[in-house]
Structure formats: C-alpha cells, structure tokens
Amino acid sequence: VDLHVPLEGPGDPDTRVARIYQALRQAVVDGRLTAGDRVPATRDLARQLEVARGTVTTAYDRLTAEGFLEARPGSGTYVADVSLSGVTPARQARRGAVRPLPLWDPVPVPITPRDRRLHDLSIGLPDPDLFPLEVWRRLVSAQLRRSRLEEATYGGRGSFRLQREVARFLGLSRSVVCAPEDVVVTAGAQQAIDLVCRVLVAPRAAVAMEDPGYFAVRRLFETHRATLCGVPVDDEGLVVDALPPDAQVVYVTPSHQFPTGVQLSMRRRVALLRWAREHDAVIVEDDYDSEYRYARQPVEPLQSLDRDGRVIYVGTFSKSLLPALRAGFLVPPRSLLPALREAKQVTSWEGDLTTQGALAEFLAEGHHAAHVRRATRVYRARRDLVLDGLTGLGDVLRVVPSVAGLHVAARFVDEDVDDRAVVRRAAQRGVRVEALSDHHRNQPARPGLAIGFAGIEADTVPDAMSRLRTAVTDSLA
Ligand SMILES: Cc1ncc(COP(=O)(O)O)c(C=O)c1O
C-alpha cells in the first residue's frame, strides 16, 4: 500500500507518532484501507518516511491496541475488520443506517436545465438575459452597508419596506386591495403555500387542486399529508361542479392555469367563491405569472371579487425577475394573518433581508414596472411567433386561449394522440416542449403540448416551430 503520511514541518518524535497513527487510522475509517489489507512493515515505512523504526512501531502498537490493525506473527501487520471492533468505515457510515419517513422517498423533480443546444421551449422560466443586472447589483450593494446591519437581526422590521412596495404594486397593477400590514413576504410562492399548509392543512385534510396542475405545489401538499383530490380543467378553467364536497382548501391558478394556460371564466369565479362560502373552504389563488398580459382587458384576481374573506392571494417575483431570488408574498384574509406570520417566523424568521431590501428599492424606483413593460414587449413578440407557428397545425392542435404568462398550450383534437411520443420526436428534431399528460395525476389526460416562449430569441422561433410542426406531422402520420 502506498500510504500518504504528511510528516512535513518540524516535529518531535511524539508528533511523528501521532501523524503516522492519524494517517493510518483515517485511511481505515474512510475505507481507503479495508480489512485484510497488509500495511507496510515497520522497517519499510520508517525508511520511506525517514524516521526511526521505533516511531512507526509505537504508532502501530497503538493502532493494534485500538483494534484497527492486527499483527499476524510471521506474516506481517494487517488492517483488522473494524466493523467487529464497533468502528464503521466512513464510506459505510456515509451510506447511513437511518431512513426518512416513507413520505420523503424522493420524487423526481421534472425540471431539466435549459439546454442551449436545443430550441428550448420548456415552460416556467423567464429569460435571464432580460434581467436588469446592473440595477440589481447596485441595489444589492447599497443594502450591504454597515449602517443597515442594525436591522439584520431576528424579529426585525426589515421586511416592512417590501411589504409597503408590494401593497402599492398590487393595488396599482392587480387591483388587489391590501395595506402593507396585510402582506407577508416569503421565499417565493412555494414558501407562501407551505405556510398556508402549516396553518390550515391538518393531516388527511382534503385539498383540491387543478388536474393537470402544478407539480411542485402538489408535492408540497403531499408532504403535509393532505388528502389530495385532482379536479378537472376545461375551457373555462377549474370545473367547480367537480370539487369534492369535503375540500377545505382549493388551490387554483385562475389568471393563467398551470399548465393549460386557460383563464378561469367570470362565471366560474363567481361559482368558486360561492362554493367556498357554502363549504366553508379557503381558496389559495396562485397568481404566478400574470404580470405579463397580452389582452386589452386586465386580468383581475379572484381576491378582488372576494366579499367573504376566503381567498389567500399568492404572488412571486420568480417570473417577473428570477426564480433564484426566492422572493414572493401572500395576502391572506386578516383572520389568518397572525398565524401565517408566526408560521413564517418559526420556519425562517424574516428571510433574506438583503434581497428583500434591494427588491423594495427596485419597486420603489420604478424598475420593476419598467422591466415588466419591456419584457412584456419582448415576450409578446416571441409569443405571437409561436402562435403563428401553430396555425399550420390548426386541424390537429387547438390552441388553448390564454391572456397572460410565459407559455401557451395546445390540445390535440384527437384525444388518443400520445403527446409524450410527440415530445420525444420533437426532441430528436432539436426542439424541447412539454407534454400536457406529464402534468396530469388522476384525471384522464387530455393530450397536448405546453410551449414556453420566454427563453427563445424571436429570430429563432420560426425555425423551432417549423421543426415542431414536422415532429407533430411525422408522429401523427
Ligand atoms: C403554478 C406556479 N406557481 C408558482 C410558481 C413559482 O414558484 P416560486 O415563487 O416558488 O418560484 C411556478 C413556477 O413555475 C408555477 O408554475
């Protein structure tokens, strides 16, 4: 065995013994030396390390006494079976002897990093190239002043500036009625909904959500041990009549349903609010990407129709800025506010105050509004080109009408089409899109494609769409 024993630097004989002892012991514990390996003879190691033989012998004696080595007279010194001595080699220990609850058996996250070699039309990501990096850098750096460290403490009011700016932004651009005190700043929509679960969802409580729906929130509800019920989605959005009567929480994406893109019709909004009142349920409205609007009339949130105090409005900066900022918020009815605030404190205190401070200034100085305006222009152009590209497939794929967001969806007229096979074929042609069936859980899948337009340059959209058309026609041939 070629042993690495770091003996550099000054050292008396005791230090040398200790180093030899450590090096060998660590090698055994790490599993680099395993039971039955022969270690160098004391004479050889002493020569190699240029130390007295007695130094090596002392180290070996100690290792033998502790059960790491065993001397076999006439044969040499070997690594002992340390598992018998109660010491487990680290490699085995790293594997671990303990297991999480079955609930936490990993579920693969269906997100693949953007692939720049393909025309990547996967959904859910804004274009990072549009992010106003210079402004952001300046604002973050302004947060990192010594004087601000006063606020960098537990239970500070550091989030308040952002609450004020979010309330102003919501009032102006979403007609969500709220005061700064009504806003709870979170690490994205995901944490917002996690807090809602903590406060409202008891184990086995019935939770209803759209099916097809948003996988990350579905998984979140599962980990809170909710009894999930998928509710179908049609051309008017969530089918309110199909809600299970015992649902205590209904999670919806009314402005731009994930993943079909359909907007919840006014009739259904009224029906959903009435249903919630009659069943004493709470509605979680996830308004994740409706800052990008393509229709003349505004996309009004459910929250602003709620006369009963049952809607929790959830928003995020993941689409208008970047998912990695982990910045979002919720606006609950006041009856839930103290519990939600405490749930947030218990799990993450104030969150990241540097990002929150920078974001507050970003909103206050008007950069957010300007960025959304500019990005909407860019995305609208890309979206129009994607929709143009789909017109050639009008007899096989029906575009789902939508008015907001960063993706569109289209359903196959023939409900027997294998949309996953189409997606595979598209990938062979260099285009990545998503199959609607992949977002279904229980409801029978209505096949279709979800097509993100945020991450692709306008001038490459026509080529991408022409390849996609070929893939679709070939698959259906
Ligand atoms: C339906 C839906 N809600 C919320 C989000 C954003 O979540 P977060 O704010 O946690 O990044 C996404 C992102 O893909 C989404 O699709």
Interval 402-431: pLDDT, tens: 999 999 999 999 999 999 999 999 999 999
362-391: pLDDT as tens digits: 999 999 999 999 999 999 999 999 999 999
Nearest CA to ligand 1 atom 5: 288
**Do β-strands 227-231 and 206-210 pair in parallel, antiparallel, or remain unpaired?**
parallel
Q: Which of 194, 230, 226, 227 is nearest to 210 (CA)?
A: 230
pLDDT of residue 9: 64
Task: Say if residues 467 and 416 touch (Cβ distance below 8 Å).
Answer: no
161-196: pLDDT as tens digits: 999 999 999 999 988 989 999 999 999 999 999 999
Probe residue for ligand 1, chosen from 190, 262, 317 as the CB with the greatest number of ligand atoms within 8 Å: 190
21-48: pLDDT as tens digits: 999 998 888 888 889 999 999 999 999 9
84-130: pLDDT as tens digits: 666 666 666 777 888 999 899 888 777 777 778 899 999 989 999 99
- Dist. CA 276–CA 283, nearest whole Å: 7
pLDDT of residue 2: 66
Distance 318 CA to ligand 1 centre (A): 7
Nearest CA to ligand 1 atom 15: 288
Nearest CA to ligand 1 atom 7: 189
Distance 31 CA to ligand 1 centre (A): 43
Probe residue for ligand 1, chosen from 257, 289, 321 as the CB with the greatest number of ligand atoms within 8 Å: 289
Task: Say if residues 335 and 309 touch (Cβ distance below 8 Å).
Answer: yes
- Dist. CA 120–CA 112, nearest whole Å: 10
Distance 76 CA to ligand 1 centre (A): 63
Name the token pair of 435.
């199959």
Nearest CA to ligand 1 atom 4: 288
Nearest CA to ligand 1 atom 6: 189
For the whole model, what pTM was predicted? Answer: 0.84
Q: From residue 69, how far is each of 25, 32, 64, 81, 218 by CA, in Å?
A: 9, 14, 4, 8, 53
Residues with a CB atom less than 6 Å from ligand 1 = 124, 188-190, 214, 253, 258, 286, 288, 316, 318, 323, 328
Q: How confident is the model at residue 154 (pLDDT cuts 50, 70, 90)?
A: confident
Probe residue for ligand 1, chosen from 210, 257, 258, 329 as the CB with the greatest number of ligand atoms within 8 Å: 258
Q: Which of 302, 296, 243 is nearest to 267 (CA)?
A: 302
Distance 274 CA to ligand 1 centre (A): 26
